[in-house]
Structure 1
């Protein structure tokens, strides 16, 4: 029996980036379907949560995500440019956010087609891996979409014509995440149980194996 899970994911989260490839490979190796459910980054959703606490938090997130990537053997660099327009000195979030709004909507459009995991993997790789600068320029996004089996022109047309419905679906993803008992990303939810963080991938697999997870063709 194919097991099913939801992965709540942010295109600005370095931890989401560090988790997506491992969950993607898990779904390829095992009889498992993981539905990608993109959410707005917390900086967009509720910046007060992230930026009014301890001032050391952003510095720690940067340091920890970089060393986690090194530990896992996953190349990582802070995005150039950041998907969220923000003054890192004052922490102020700009009102207009063209990069992240387009990217998250593209991710939701890909999820509609059942290709959300592949799209998130390919796009987060060009954002975070350090392989390219200006990930939003040229044909970088088009190439990422193509590697996921999608056409960027088609996705962008849907983003432009159906933004309101896509935003409603993204908001529903956030509500589902909170209903499952968490608020952060990446969070995999399996049978109502949330597994938060890139360091819970193996534990999530352990739980699914208890519930009958087997390798494909096994």
Structure 2
């Protein structure tokens, strides 16, 4: 029997980036399939309420992300360009979003091709790994190639359907699982929210007897 873990993931989330090495190790260690379920960032899903009256959540995230990356021994730098076009003073989100829809669509297509987690790993490392200009030249194409995929082929495929229909279904499934944030891993209907919950997920896999590889 195949054991599936759904991974709800955003390319704008630093915590989604930070979880990717643990997810790769989880798949190596257990007989599970990891299904990448890309979602739009919360800045788009709840743009009317996010940090509307209080900056403390954002200020804490800025502190914690840098600290957590150092703890994990991972490089991190805030993306340039930001995958979301947003005024970080007012939190106003631009109507046109050229980056995040492309990235999220690539995540959908990568999962269709059976390499969702690989794409999430390599593209998030490109975006969050501390080097500016992730969208310049062949850098995105090279990251996609490291995931075992071809960017041009994927974008041709994406022109033939609307990946946002899949993304909207992912939003609904995340909500039905009982959470709203990313990364959230869902196993047999049970959500595990946060970059630091993979160990708890491992414990659950052991409890239900998922075989190790």
Which TM class, normalised by the smaller chain length? over 0.9
TM superposition score normalised by structure 1 = 0.94
2:178 match = 181
Measured after TM superposition, the shift of residue 212 of structure 1 is: 1.2
CA distance in 1, matches of 2:198, 2:188: 15
**Is 2:98 the counterpart of 1:98?**
yes
What does 1:39-58 align with in structure 2 at a 5 Å threshold?
39-58=39-58
SS in 2 for 1:182: coil
**Is 2:170 the counterpart of 1:202?**
no
1:117 match = 117
CA distance in 1, matches of 2:103, 2:111: 12
SS in 1 for 2:35: strand
Dislocated runs of 4+, deviation >3 Å: none
SS in 2 for 1:94: coil
SS in 1 for 2:21: helix
Measured after TM superposition, the shift of residue 133 of structure 1 is: 1.6
RMSD: 1.2
1:107 match = 107
What does 1:148-159 align with in structure 2 at a 5 Å threshold?
148-159=147-158
CA distance in 2, matches of 1:31, 1:49: 40
Measured after TM superposition, the shift of residue 211 of structure 1 is: 1.0
8 Å contact kept, 1:102–1:159: no
TM superposition score normalised by structure 2 = 0.96
**Is 2:83 the counterpart of 1:83?**
yes
8 Å contact kept, 1:40–1:104: yes
8 Å contact kept, 1:186–1:198: yes
Structure 2 portions without partners, runs of 5+: none
1:212 match = 209
Measured after TM superposition, the shift of residue 87 of structure 1 is: 1.0
Measured after TM superposition, the shift of residue 53 of structure 1 is: 4.0
CA distance in 2, matches of 1:141, 1:28: 25
CA distance in 1, matches of 2:6, 2:49: 24
